[in-house]
Amino acid sequence: MAFPNIYAIGITSLGFQIIWSMLAQRVDVNVHRLFTDQEEKISKQCDVFGISLSWELDGPILLDLLERKKIPLWSDQRKDDDPIVFGGGQVLTANPEPFAPFLDVVLLGDGEILIPKFIDSLKESKGHTRRERLLSLAQIPGIYVPSFYSPIYSTDGKLTSINTNNQNIPDFLNKQTYTGNTLTHSSVITPDAAWPDIHMVEVVRSCPELCRFCLASYLNLPFRTSSLTQGLIPAVEKGLKVTKRIGLLGASVTQHPEFPELLNWLNKDSFDDIRLSVSSVRASTVNSEMATILAKRNAKSLTIAIESGSERIRQLINKKLSEEEIYNAARYAKEGGIKNLKLYGMVGLPTEESIDIEKTANLIIKLNKQCAGLRITLGVSTFVPKAQTPFQWHGVRHIADKRLKYLAKKLKPNGIQFRPESYRSSVIQALISRSDRRLAHVIARMRGSNNSLGNWKKAYKEIENELVSEEIKLPKWDEIIHEEWDQNKFLPWSHINGPLNTKQLQLHNLQSFKQLKNI
């Protein structure tokens, strides 16, 4: 079971921990972990090689790890005695196509459902040919075997469809969703993690707000919460047996309907010596009592995604958040004793103008003045179109790079910590997020190299020239990354059904722009 990063990063991935622990608890599976900087030795032949991919830029490392284990990179080159290579995680569930030629199997959705069925099928088909085993797996809902699907291209290089090449498997695949009333928590607590000695507890999955660009919200629908009495409290108690540091995780933790009750339970005197960390919270849920209890439990900061200081842009993206609520959250945080306020924003959103960026800068500066003593940090990323979201048809805007620099120029002289995500890395994310199976040739060229935008452009150009002789055309670079797509375009992930279908996503996209007309 591999993670395409160093141990300290990989072991903080709760998704990776879920899959690893599910496999490790089975008596019929001997599972070993592999990271880029270390691995557990395997005493027997590897039958199955798994990869968890939660960030696009980690993708090429998959090939480095396959090479390390002497596994053929391309699935069609593997023989019956080679390991079956499978992958899962957010990136592969949203759009597996750029990595499809490297993977025998992709698990589309939640491991709680898919892993048991996957392993059981492999056991039942042991001794059969590779093709027979893959065909058995392809019968299971949510298990995608790319070799049984063929992309069709027009003479001008447009992807027109992805069709099954075997009559025994479905034309479309459905992402599988776990709906149990308890979510997950850490199975590993270590001082060597990026967040040392922390016991992570998943409070919610998905988010009810549905910001139009947000993969974590849309791909994980419906919004699910862990039972207070059966899930959250037992999970926290289990963690406190081995550590004093608890992390409450989720896209919008404080929107758990019983979050106040959980906080009140954590407010007991017996928890005075713990350190509590909470991931992103919704500004409108922050109040004086919450901030006071979090500070009392040694929480160092509060994290809020505001996305933009412009109400127009917040309305566009369906961020149901007023400026007053942002100011109130900061005030409550300071009054409660929280020392740091981390805000997250975004540039390059559709229709965004210079005035919208100026409003973001002004809001942060004003916030910093009104809450003197509260250390404010603004992290900003560039909008990246993600598959399975309403904004998947919009491209990365070139102007975003200049707008990141503008915010830095405005905020840093005012003593505000500004942490932009690289525009260049956002471009690479978009390339992988929106591409089809042809990108695999570029990814293969990128293995072992510096993961820079310049190297990606160079590899893309080289492959573009090489494929001409094979009568295969790569899409134009700008078409994939920067262009706005027609909503009737066949998408690389059109054969994969997420929680919402294409018509529903189109409607959400349309609703966003209708809201602008009412401002």
Exposure letters 330-344 (e unless 16+ CB within 10 A, then b): bbbbbebebeebbbb
Question: Is 181 among the domain residues?
Answer: no
Same domain, 164 and 311: no
Residue 1: half-sphere exposure toward Cβ, Cα within 13 Å = 23
Question: Is 434 among the domain residues?
Answer: no
- What is d(CA 273, CA 433) in angstroms, rounded to the nearest whole number? 43
Last residue of a domain, one of 366, 398, 422: 422
Q: Read out DSSP for 300-315?
A: -EEEEEEE-S-HHHHH
User: 254, 282 in Cβ contact below 8 A?
Assistant: yes
Query: Torsion angle, CA of 39/439/422/329, rounded to 10 degrees?
Result: -80
- What is d(CA 208, CA 223) in angstroms, rounded to the nearest whole number? 6
Classify strands 198-202 and 204-205 as parallel, antiparallel or unpaired.
unpaired
Question: Is 483 among the domain residues?
Answer: no
Phi then psi for residue 144, to 5 deg, are -105, 125
User: 119, 79 in Cβ contact below 8 A?
Assistant: no
Cβ-proximal residues to 426 (8 Å cutoff; 6+ apart), any chain: 348, 381, 382, 383, 384, 396, 400
Same domain, 224 and 283: yes
Same domain, 237 and 381: yes
Average confidence (pLDDT) per 10 residues, the chain, 519 residues: 95 94 96 95 87 93 94 97 96 98 98 97 96 97 98 92 95 96 95 95 96 97 97 97 97 95 96 95 95 96 97 96 96 96 98 98 96 95 98 98 98 95 98 97 91 95 85 91 97 97 96 77
Number of domains in the chain: 2
Give residue 45's pLDDT: 84
- What is d(CA 220, CA 218) in angstroms, rounded to the nearest whole number? 5
Same domain, 135 and 267: no
Cβ-proximal residues to 227 (8 Å cutoff; 6+ apart), any chain: 181, 182
Question: Is 240 among the domain residues?
Answer: yes
Encoded tokens for 242: 């081995």
What is the domain extent for residue 372?
198-422
Question: Is 410 among the domain residues?
Answer: yes
Tokens 């499809």, located at residue: 100
- What is d(CA 147, CA 158) in angstroms, rounded to the nearest whole number? 20
Last residue of a domain, one of 377, 401, 422: 422
Same domain, 132 and 261: no
User: 126, 412 in Cβ contact below 8 A?
Assistant: no
Same domain, 154 and 217: no
Same domain, 240 and 327: yes
Same domain, 167 and 224: no
Question: Is 358 among the domain residues?
Answer: yes
- What is d(CA 66, CA 82) in angstroms, rounded to the nearest whole number? 11
- What is d(CA 359, CA 126) in angstroms, rounded to the nearest whole number? 61
For the four alpha carbons of 406, 426, 12 and 177, in that order, the dihedral sign comes to positive
- Cα–Cα distances in Å, from 491 out to 165, 292, 333, 427, 435? 19, 48, 44, 19, 9
Same domain, 261 and 409: yes
Secondary structure of residue 411 in the 3-state scheme: helix
| First vs last C-alpha separation in the chain | 50
Question: Is 140 among the domain residues?
Answer: yes
Residue 100: half-sphere exposure toward Cβ, Cα within 13 Å = 25
Same domain, 258 and 406: yes
Same domain, 265 and 412: yes
Cβ-proximal residues to 290 (8 Å cutoff; 6+ apart), any chain: 254, 260, 263, 332, 336
Question: Is 56 among the domain residues?
Answer: yes
Last residue of a domain, one of 422, 451, 478: 422
- What is d(CA 104, CA 84) in angstroms, rounded to the nearest whole number? 6
Q: Is the peptide bond before 222 cis (omega within 30 degrees of 0)?
A: yes
Cβ-proximal residues to 403 (8 Å cutoff; 6+ apart), any chain: 347, 348, 352, 354, 357
Q: How many residues does the chain have?
A: 519
- What is d(CA 35, CA 17) in angstroms, rounded to the nearest whole number? 13
Alpha helices in 52-125, H assignment, sequence order: 61-68, 90-94, 111-124
- What is d(CA 84, CA 78) in angstroms, rounded to the nearest whole number? 9
Q: Find the CATH number of the domain harbouring 216.
A: 3.20.20.70
Same domain, 148 and 204: no
